[in-house]
Amino acid sequence: MISDAILVRAFPVLFIWTLTLHCATSGAEEQPPLNVLFIAADDMNCDLGCYGDATVKTPNLDRLCAMGLRFDTACCQQPLCGPSRASIMTGLRPDTLDMHTLKHELREKNPDVVTLGELFRRNGYFSARAGKIYHYGNPAMIGTDGNDDPATWDERHNPKGIDRTQQERIIRYGGGQENNKNLGISMAWWDPESADDDHTDGQVASRIIELIHERKDQPFFLAAGFFNPHCPYVAPRRYFDLYDLNQISIPDLDDAAQDLLDVPAMAWQRDSRNWPYYFKDVSVDQARQCKLAYYASISFVDAQIGRLLDALEENDLLHRTVIVFWSDHGYFLGEKGLWFKRKAFERSARMPLIIAAPGLSSGKNTTKPVELLDIYPTLADLCGLVPPDNLEGLSLRPLLENPAAASWKKPAVTQVWHSADAWGYSLRTEQYRYTEWLNGQAGREL
């Protein structure tokens, strides 16, 4: 046996050796925090190559899908930029936030809310955005802070390209080019001979790339907020050249009229006055041109996303960065003779959502219904952060681990709010969409 004296003399050396071994082992096991690249598009529907559309060219979103999980039944909380984006960034429903319009009132009505970027800031992350994450009037507010929330970010960047500074050159239908005051709701387009960085979204990508290079050695939450494909549909000409107008189809208007016969009036009341295409005197050919321009704008955004993925790869960050791509809602392009959003139909309630998380599903898709407000708890979960206990979404980790997870039974809820006297709720399960207007008094849809 070892004597007590020997143990006493040996203890300091033994203790130091054990402590050193423990520290070395702990250091080997400790992983750096996961970064987050948070990529937003504006008014983008699921007409995407990565969602199976043979027309729309999205090679970089295809690349992102190969890295992660594509959500085929992702739904927004409200198909309108302001409340949808506030909901994403807080994990709370528009009713909870008391936000249903485009007004800048998040902190006024919810002074103590902890936003997604704010949660990361509180946990030692560098949080920054370039472009549109909270609501901006597009294009009027480009180059400003818009309806932003300062507490969310350490840095905010507001680039402004020719889509804003030369908007008098934008071709406009259904209102006349001489009136450029309301291009935020317009059927309008422009295809200048220009470089990507001449445009706001090109500059958004460039600034985020710079931040990736600058902040690669510390945990970051970086948000790239692209303004396209929101109208007016403006992109460099080479993206327009990807499409042939002869290959762009628009639904037959007679069939579209029939499609609306059994639809409650409240479901499309904002669009009925000048149906079709929202504005008076817009021709089918003009609608086709706008649809082509919308697709060109998507391909332009896709190219910027490719630049962001390249920057992560160049800095050896792909293996420790969670990438989320989302749009704030879907978009009509002539279906039912309708245009724009703000409807509870699948076409505007559903939008793309792709999440690529290291070590989880890649190259797969799920048909389970999910909500945009699920993003907040998901990122907190994946990054090991403790979120506020009042979040109304759920972490998507079960689906990221198993896209067919039988445990995921939560439906998705989308609401539409036209006014205090005109509103409805739509419930999406894997098989059905059920909608009630004024608790069923103004109609029901299944």
Residue 23 annotated to the active site? no
Tokens of 201: 């979204």
Q: CA 68, CA 114: separation in Å to the nearest integer?
A: 27
Number of Cα atoms under 13 Å in the Cβ half of residue 315? 19
Retrieve residue 323's tokens: 């990438």
Q: Name the token pair of 247.
A: 């290959």
Sheet with 353-356, side-by-side order of all strands = 155-157, 126-131, 220-225, 35-41, 321-327, 353-356, 69-75, 364-371
Cα Dmax for the chain: 101
DSSP secondary structure of 183-227: TTS-EEEE--S--GGGSHHHHHHHHHHHHHHHHTTS-EEEEEE--
Selection from 210, 206, 216 nearest residue 320 by Cα: 216
Question: Are 295 and 49 within 8 A, CB to CB?
Answer: no
Structure token digits, residue 374: 């699920």
| Identified catalytic residue from 46, 50, 75, 81 | 81
- Sign of the torsion angle spanned by Cα atoms 330, 334, 340, 345: negative
Q: Give the tokens for residue 119.
A: 């949660």
| Cα atoms found within 13 Å of the Cα of residue 197, Cβ hemisphere only | 5
Bridge partners, residue 70, by sequence? 354, 365
Token pair 């791509």 is found at 325
388 three-class SS: coil
Task: Write the CB contacts of 372 (distance below 8 Å, at least 6 apart in sequence).
Answer: 74, 75, 76, 77, 84, 87, 88, 326, 328, 351, 353
Instruction: Identify the active-site residue in 50, 75, 135, 383.
Output: 135
Q: Is 274 helix (H, G, I), strand (E, B) or coil?
A: coil
Among this protein's residues, is 81 annotated catalytic?
Answer: yes
Residues acting as catalytic residues: 81, 135
